[in-house]
């Protein structure tokens, strides 16, 4: 299967077949029935444009207390288990890594963005992050280990998987925009991004 590289990011185009994407979306709906999507705010009180939930032992949250992982959804319920189909993708692509303790579920509508950021709230940066795209296409931008400097971009499509490890693990990255109606996977449109992470 084809593997692309943009800087140190490893991209697996169409890694998840279309037939399996629909089943995965149904499994995610079951997760969200337990832990619904919420619209987080930054520590400064600004609402993020994406809506978030999670599965696993931990979920990532953001509010006036800061950015952090928590063992429960803001409603107080435990996060649902990570679906087996996602654990299989993790085992297939990063077999030497510890099993993920969090699957962050981000939903983007056509206007949502994610500014350049580092994934740095985890305790062990030797462990990878695996990012899965479902639904509408998104322009993924990657930068450097520090802010500033030249960046590069690539369109991620439904079923694409990105592996961030090594130098990519600490690099800035983000989503500049979503291409509405570029996929028919989600009945109401939008994009789901799943990021599997080791937290502790």
pLDDT in tens, 118-136: 999 999 999 999 999 999 9
Residue 68 lies in a domain: no
- CA dist., res. 103 & res. 55, Å (int): 5
Q: Is residue 1 pLDDT above 80, yes or no? A: no
Which residues lie across from 53 on neighbouring strands?
105
Q: What is the DSSP string of 86-131?
A: HHHHHHHH-TTSPPPSEEEEEEE-TT--EEEE----SS-TTS-EEE
Number of domains in the chain: 1
C-alpha torsion angle, residues 19, 84, 137, 17 (rounded to 10): -30
CATH assignment of the domain containing 130: 2.60.120.590
| Domain membership of residue 152 as a residue range | 4-36+81-197
pLDDT tens profile 172-198 = 999 999 999 999 999 999 999 999 999
Q: pLDDT by residue (tens digit) across 58-98?
A: 999 988 888 999 999 999 999 999 999 999 999 999 999 99
């Amino acid at each position: 299967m084809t593997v692309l590289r943009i800087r140190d990011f490893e991209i697996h185009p169409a890694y998840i077949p279309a037939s399996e994407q629909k089943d995965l979306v149904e499994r995610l709906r079951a997760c969200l029935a337990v832990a619904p999507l919420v619209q987080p705010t930054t520590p400064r009180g600004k609402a993020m444009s994406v809506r978030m939930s999670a599965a696993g032992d931990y979920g990532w949250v953001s509010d006036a207390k800061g950015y952090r992982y928590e063992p429960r959804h803001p409603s107080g319920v435990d996060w649902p288990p990570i679906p087996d189909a996602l654990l299989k993708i993790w085992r297939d692509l990063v077999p030497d890594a510890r099993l993920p303790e969090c699957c962050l579920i981000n939903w983007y509508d056509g206007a949502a963005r994610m500014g350049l950021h580092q994934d740095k709230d985890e305790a062990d940066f030797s462990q990878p992050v695996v990012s899965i795209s479902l639904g509408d296409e998104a322009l993924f931008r990657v930068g450097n280990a520090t802010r500033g400097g030249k960046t590069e971009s690539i369109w991620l499509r439904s079923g694409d998987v990105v592996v961030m490890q090594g130098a990519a693990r600490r690099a800035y990255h983000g989503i500049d925009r979503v291409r509405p109606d570029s996929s028919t996977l989600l009945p109401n449109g939008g994009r789901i991004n799943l990021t599997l992470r080791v937290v502790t």
